[in-house]
Amino acid sequence: MADKLNVVPFVSVDNMMRLVLAIGVERFLRELAATIEEDFRRWHLFDKQPRLASHSADGVIELMPTSDGTTYGFKYVNGHPKNARSGRQTVAAFGVLADVGNGYPMLLTEMTILTALRTAAMSAVAAKYLAPKGARTMAIIGNGAQAEFQALAFKALIGIDSLRLYDIDPAASAKCRRNLAGFGFRIAICSSTAEAVEGADIVTTATADKQCATILTDNLVGPGIHINAVGGDCPGKTELHPDILRRSDIVVEYAPQTRLEGEIQQLPADHPVTELWRVIAGEVPGRSDDRQITLFDSVGFAVEDFSALRYLRSVLAGTGFFEDLDLLADPDDPRDLFGMLLRAEGRAGPDPAAP
């Protein structure tokens, strides 16, 4: 990649797609998941805070920053469920990785596709520690933009090969089955949540509506199941009946943020939860018995985006799947920024103090 001070590698949507396809989606997910695990094992190094959110009646715009002391990263992301009606993405994002030592950005990238990949990779990392052994069947409730990524991540990391799909819009399930054809899944489209959950080892909920909904009811959750709750990710937006939460061993990314945004916003603030980094580090067990109900209350956290940015930068060199972006001013004399502006117009004359 370029080493000029004013040039920053930029990964466009087109180049992101080319890169993912060149690496292979499942390999990309496995390697991204490994990077997430590496960073969660050094959890104590990271700055941590709930994301900075600006809520409106139409959705939310968020900034998600963190640093490990050497590198800084942030993501800008929105969540607007009504966007689909006008042909826009419900979630769109971009991100930056920068050098803490000098403050200069090292990478600028689209993160709509990258966020979909990291969300799925994060889900599969959690399931690696929480799902029942030998899990092969997953129900996906909500078959929108995230569904295929979730399916492929669980295939790549867990070995899921059977999918049971349900969405209130049958066209979404048909789209999902069509997109996943040829990836080695057995796929059943179901007519209800109850039908989809029947026989599933893992249940992923990934709906988009910004409301306190009951996508999954308590009577549908039997012993031994793992729930991957992805859709409830902001205040006032949930998917699970509270009784499910009370019966489950709940694992979260960063408790102060999840208590505001996740399924556990429905519970008292002192309800016990376990942060995933402790499970990955071996401080506490994940799944401990066959009848245990485990729940990953996933809302997305800045460290995961940092991992995604770090992984992306590590695989870019030599690929050509980026552009050199003239982003930063680089005057010959760092103290003479205005002179740089004048020289661009050809107005700057000789220095009268010069010999």
Residues with active-site annotation: 233
Q: Is 137 exposed, middle or buried (0-12, 13-18, 19+ CB in 10 A)?
A: middle
- DSSP3 helix / strand / coil % (the chain, rounded to 5): 35, 25, 40
Q: How far apart are CA 7 and CA 36, in angstroms?
A: 28
For every residue of 173-242, DSSP letters joined together read HHHHHHHHTTSS-EEEE-SSHHHHHTT-SEEEE----SSEEEEE-GGG--TT-EEEE-S--BTTBEEE-H
Helices 25-41 and 302-316 cross at an angle (nearest 10°) of: 120
Residues forming a β-bridge with 164:
139, 188
Which residues have C-beta within 8 Å of that of residue 345, sequence separation ≥ 6? none
Q: How far apart are CA 241 and CA 294, in angstroms?
A: 15
Which residues have C-beta within 8 Å of that of residue 126, sequence separation ≥ 6? 228, 251, 276, 296, 298
